[in-house]
Amino acid sequence: MKFYTLLIKYRLQIGVAVILIAVITNIFSGFWPAFLPYLAGVVLIFGHFFFGPLRLIQEYMETGDVEGAEKVLGTIKFPNLLYKPIRSVYYTLKGNLAMMKQDFDGAEKNMKKGLDLGMPMKEAEGASLLQMGMISMQRNDLKQGESYIRQALRKGLPDKENQAAAYLQLCSIMMTKREFRAAKDFFRKAKALKPTTAQIVDQIKQIEKYISRMPG
């Protein structure tokens, strides 16, 4: 695995070096002995621009190392050359990193690009729509936030934690709109999922203190 990680990290440099070896071999021994190095070099360089180094980001994202993840994304100089599904993931990751830094404008811009390109999995599309909804709510645009979150639920979310978060956001919106019956319904759906994320559990406890006193 470490070898594969190093190969992805230095794929461009290795590819260029192999092409140089091929050129020297071609000069001194002819084309056919140089054919395999030429081929290997082209494949490595093509892979660098077509697939990119996104596999390297996973470890940084899992440990919350935003700076490390940004450095990897920064090595992608020509994102338009990436394979379309990978380009979508690239912009989604940029959006996620912007969210971590509270850069909501940057997050929205990049996530929209990712969504426009189409997500490889419906659950990933749902998760991005949920985040777009949360960005809209940060801006107090409840109408747009509700639209995004409902779309996220229709597309499907990857786990019960995300589903519970979506229902709680809708519950909050309905409470603001004074649609108490709908608010209670969304709250029940969130609670029934039995989420374990501390932030969501705490939010449920806070809402539970006064939701039973609401009319409807």
Burial state string for 119-149 with b = 16 or more CB within 10 A and e = fewer than 16:
beeebbbbbbbbbbbbbbbeeeebeebbebb
pLDDT in tens, the chain (216 residues): 577 888 888 999 999 999 999 999 999 999 999 999 999 999 999 999 999 998 888 778 777 788 888 999 999 999 999 999 999 999 999 998 888 888 989 999 999 999 999 877 777 899 999 999 999 998 899 999 999 999 999 999 989 999 999 999 999 999 999 999 999 999 999 999 999 999 999 999 999 988 888 876
Contact at 8 Å (CB) between 126 and 113?
Answer: no
DSSP-derived 3-state class of residue 51: coil
* Measured distance CA(209)–CA(211) in Å, rounded: 6
Contact at 8 Å (CB) between 152 and 136?
Answer: no
* Measured distance CA(122)–CA(101) in Å, rounded: 26
